[in-house]
Amino acid sequence: MPKHRFFRAACFWSVSCTSVNIVLLRLPMQPQPTRQHFMNHQQVSEICFEETYTVPTDQTARSLFTRLPHGKHYAETLIECLATGYLIAVVESICIREMHRQIDSAVEVVVGRTIHLEHCGPIPPGATIRLQGWVERLGQRSATFCIRAYDDHELVCDGKVTLVAADRASMESKIATKVNDLLKTDVVS
C-alpha cells in the first residue's frame, strides 16, 4: 500500500508595490476521511464572465485607510483611487459567485485559497471597470480563474484567483472551535 503525504495550508501575505501575492505554505497534516464532492467540474470548467463595476467613493485607499487604526495618520496623503484591497474583494466576489452556482451549498462552501493580482493602474471613484474572467485550471475541489480588468484607458488589473469548494460541515466545525477558544480566553481575562 503506497504511503501518501497530506498537507494543510497556512497563508501569509506578501505585498510589493501594487502587486499582492497570497502564498501558501504546505504543512504536514493527518489524512482526512474521503467525502463526496458535489462541485460540477464540467460546468465549472466552462465558467467565463464579463461584467462592469463602478467604483464607489467610499472604496478609495484614502477612505479605507482612514478607518484603519494604523492608517489614520497617513490616509490623507494617499491618492483618491480604488484601494487594492477593494479590488481584490470585487474580483474574488465575482469568482466566488460564479463557482457557487456549480456547487451544492448545503454541503460545500466556496472559499479563497490563492490570489495573485497586479493592480496595474489607478481607478478613480466613479470610473467603470470591465472585468473579464475564465477558468484556466481545475483541481479535484478547486478552480483557478484568470482575471483581467480594464477602465476606459488601460489594463488596470491582471491576475489569477484559486478557489476551493470546501466541505461546509468541516469549515463550520473549525470556525466553531476557534470561536469557543476566543470565548474561553475572554472569560479568563
pLDDT confidence of residue 147: 98
Q: Rounded to the nearest 10 degrees, how much is the dihedral formed by the CA atoms of 68, 71, 74, 76?
A: -30
User: Does residue 156 contact residue 123 with C-beta atoms inside 8 Å?
Assistant: yes
pLDDT confidence of residue 11: 35
Closest CA to 162 of 93, 104, 97, 111: 111
Encoded amino acid at 58, one letter: D
Helix or strand (DSSP H, E) at 23: strand 19-29
pLDDT confidence of residue 78: 93
Phi, psi of 37 (to 5 degrees): -100, 135
d(CA 71, CA 94): 28
150: cell is: 480594464
d(CA 171, CA 184): 20
DSSP characters over 123-154: --TT-EEEEEEEEEEE-SSEEEEEEEEE-SSS
12: cell is: 501569509
- Residue 66, Cα to own-chain centre: how many angstroms? 23
Q: For the chain, which residues score pLDDT lower than 70?
A: 1-37, 188-189
Q: What is the pLDDT of residues 90-122, one digit of tens each?
A: 999 999 999 999 999 999 999 999 999 999 999
pLDDT confidence of residue 38: 77
pLDDT confidence of residue 69: 93
d(CA 148, CA 131): 6
Query: pTM of the prediction?
Result: 0.77
Q: What is the pLDDT of residues 118-131, one digit of tens each?
A: 999 999 999 999 99
pLDDT confidence of residue 63: 93
